[in-house]
Amino acid sequence: MNKKETKVFFGNKNLQQEFDKLKEGKFENKELYFFLSRAISDIREDPFCGIKIPRKIWPSEFVSKYAIDNLWKYDLPDGWRLIYTLQANEAVILSIILEWFDHKGYERRFRY
């Protein structure tokens, strides 16, 4: 069986810059950077390692902004969540990081 190549990207440049800034921030930011880096590595290894989010609770702005047809959540320590989507063709699976939230931000965005 031929395993597809997997790649991880950020949904936009601003998100990439926010991620990079975490590395230089306070202890909490550096810790979050470490958690996110580990999650990105896990997703690169297995894009399906997250939890698939039911369509009925997807935030409408994700659908309109990114034209997604799937949405995944990766649970991070301390209640943080990483949200991503997958796009694939015959050769590659692209994991696209859309956002990360603390627990309260996640509940607000997903209307829990």
Number of domains in the chain: 1
Boundaries of domain holding 77: 5-109
Nearest CA to 45 out of 77, 90, 100, 93 is that of: 93
DSSP line for 76-109: -GGG-EEEEEEEE-SSEEEEEEEEEE-HHHHHHH
Upper half-sphere CA count for residue 3 (Cβ side, 13 Å): 7
Is 0.85 topped by the overall pTM?
yes
- The three state secondary structure string of 12-52 is CHHHHHHHHHHCCCCHHHHHHHHHHHHHHHHHHHCCCCCEE
pLDDT tens column, 1-49: 457 899 999 999 999 999 999 999 999 999 999 999 999 999 999 999 9
- What is the pLDDT, as a whole number, of residue 46? 96
**CATH number for 43:** 3.30.2310.20
